[in-house]
Structure 1
Amino acid sequence: MDKNLQGIEFLQKGNVEKAIQMFTEAIEENPHDAVGYVNFANVLISVGELERAEQFLKRAIDIDEKASAAFYSYGNLFFNKERYDKAAGMFEKALAIGPETNDLQYMLGMCFVNLGRNELSLPYLQRSVELNGQDVEARFQYALSLARSEVYDEAIKQLENVVKANSNHADAYYNLGVAYLAHHEDVEKALHCFNKALEIQPNHALAANGKKLVENLLEEEGQ
């Protein structure tokens, strides 16, 4: 089996030491192949050795300036450093080279979420969901972006799909509660959602606050 594939298998199993060994051998056997350098960098990123990882990614790009995987990994590196503008630039380069993937669109969207540029995050998160409808976290983030854009009915629809796919998603239930309360003024549905969030995660402070608010509203209505 190819050393890079073996390394990826070891990494997926959590055996970082063996993964490094395989990627090192891959680089030694094919020093002009960018793939080995990218894989080694990914291992280093996973263990937090970002500065060292950057050297491997620079080498990969020197070898192949069209190495989309190198730019994607570079984007992850900057994202981990919370340098979201730089990360977005790298992800955009990866996207320009191709192929387009839901992960790539998702990471671009999350860069703009962290930069406070919701209008830019929305299309990337939407495209991520279009490319992989099974990605629950992408759908959740897309729903939040819709809510921030005040597209509440679609946000509710997406959040309902999230809890349908993952019935233990406390944050999705919390945000559904907020949407029902703020947009539809439906206190009964909001209370149900806050209770579901707390059932899943008893220490969910925001859901607890939401529940208290709704109970106060119901108490006032009853007076």
Structure 2
Amino acid sequence: MPLDQERIVAAAIALADEGGLDGVSLRKVAARLNAGPMRLYGYISTKQELFDLMVDEVYAEILPQEQPGDWREALGTLAHRTRHAALRHEWLADLLGGRPALGPNALAVGEVTLAALESVAGIDTAMRAVETVGAYFTGAIRREIANLRAERATGLSKHDWQRASGPHLTRMLATGRFPALAKAVHDGTDVDAEASFETGLDWVLDAVAAKLTRPSA
């Protein structure tokens, strides 16, 4: 089968899905495609360019099928679809939050999101809203992926780890130095990652809504 950029990116994504970004190199991609490494340089100049193309391919999964009905739906959809994409492709979490992605799919996602916000806010306010929500879901996604990786590395689920850490935590809380943490441990509600993500996102969107509806000075 002839070599092309689409096949190269698909092979790189498959490798990253299997072994993370450390498992991706032009040599390994070439081997996956039964091609000589030098052949790839006709399509990809650097590993960073390959990563950029991989990210943009995943943005095609994030792009909503229809224009969101309003700004809140647009930002919520962006957050949820990014999280779902990262759970399918955990390596994405390592590449979120840096310089903006500029591939065609990433730009299409940005266009859909800003268009929904621009109808109710000036462009500067719209950009700050996107940045704020993006900062939230990027951090939340990275934490969730880090926990998943820790579970695999240690063989301990969240609850197994909590049980194993229980004696140490009990001794520390018994000193009386951490009363707020003690209350959180004994009286707080434990929720799963999805519920935590949803709650935090609602709070951030509520804050954006308050800003958008605040009268101008």
Instruction: Say whether the fold is shared (TM-score over 0.5).
Output: no
TM-score range, shorter chain: under 0.3
Point out which structure has higher relative CO (alpha carbons under 8 A, 6+ apart): 2
More helix per residue: 1 or 2?
1
How high is the TM-score relative to the length of structure 1? Answer: 0.27
How high is the TM-score relative to the length of structure 2? Answer: 0.27
